[in-house]
Amino acid sequence: MSPVASDASFDTRRAIVVGVVAVVLGIGLVVLVTRLAGTGTLDVKLGDDRFQDISAANLARQIDEGGPVLFPDAGTGERDIIVQHLATDPNEGWYAFNAQRPGQPRECTLAWQADRDLFTDSCDPSVTVPADGGDQVSYPAEVDADGRLDIDLNAAERDES
């Protein structure tokens, strides 16, 4: 006989508890899936609707020294943006626009050509885009009363509703 005796009633109780917990979790999962399926849509939002709280003066100085800044989309990877400043006053002259031309893959990012004051498509350098983004999909970029840059990434979606 084993020095450690098995208690059959303890094993049965543990099996019942584990079974009940599994059933409760399963029912919770079914309820969650049913609710999501009932809405017909599932919106996943990573991050804010606004790209904000950046010191306009600091970013203007950085752009003046090194050119427009590329902000990669850390969420879906579908909306990399370029932030450009084209004024002497850090509170004015802000532009934010897509870093790729419409229909181009992510690797075809617009590249700043400082000597020409324009962007070229990295996949087709013969294609140029003006310094302010031209016809690129753009986003409202404004400086608030505290000198912070606010870029509204979803302004178009809110305007449509």
pLDDT digits (tens, 9 = 90+) for 49-97: 666 679 999 999 999 999 999 999 877 778 899 999 999 999 999 999 9
With a cut of 80, say whether residue 143 has pLDDT above it: yes
Q: Would you state the torsion angle of the CA atoms of residues 14, 20, 22, 25, taken in this order, to the nearest 10 degrees?
A: -140
Q: Do 61 and 34 fall within a single domain?
A: no
User: In this structure, what token pair is assigned to residue 123?
Assistant: 């996949």
Number of structural domains found in the chain? 2
Nearest to 107 by CA among 128, 77, 82, 127: 77
What pLDDT digit, counting tens, does each position of 13-45 carry? 776 766 666 666 667 565 555 555 555 544 444
> What pLDDT, on the 0 to 100 scale, is given for residue 42?
42
Q: Do 152 and 107 fall within a single domain?
A: yes
Inter-residue contact 86 to 95 (CB < 8 Å): yes
Q: Do 27 and 70 fall within a single domain?
A: no
Cα distance between residue 135 and residue 44, in whole Å: 28
With a cut of 60, say whether residue 160 has pLDDT above it: no
User: In this structure, what token pair is assigned to residue 119?
Assistant: 């962007």
With a cut of 50, say whether residue 154 has pLDDT above it: yes
| pLDDT band per the 50, 70, 90 thresholds, residue 7 | low
Q: Do 16 and 81 fall within a single domain?
A: no
Q: Do 56 and 28 fall within a single domain?
A: no
Strand partners, 50: 152
CATH number of the domain bearing residue 89 = 2.102.10.10
What domain range includes position 4? 1-43
With a cut of 70, say whether residue 137 has pLDDT above it: yes
With a cut of 60, say whether residue 126 has pLDDT above it: yes
Q: Do 58 and 32 fall within a single domain?
A: no
Q: Do 54 and 26 fall within a single domain?
A: no
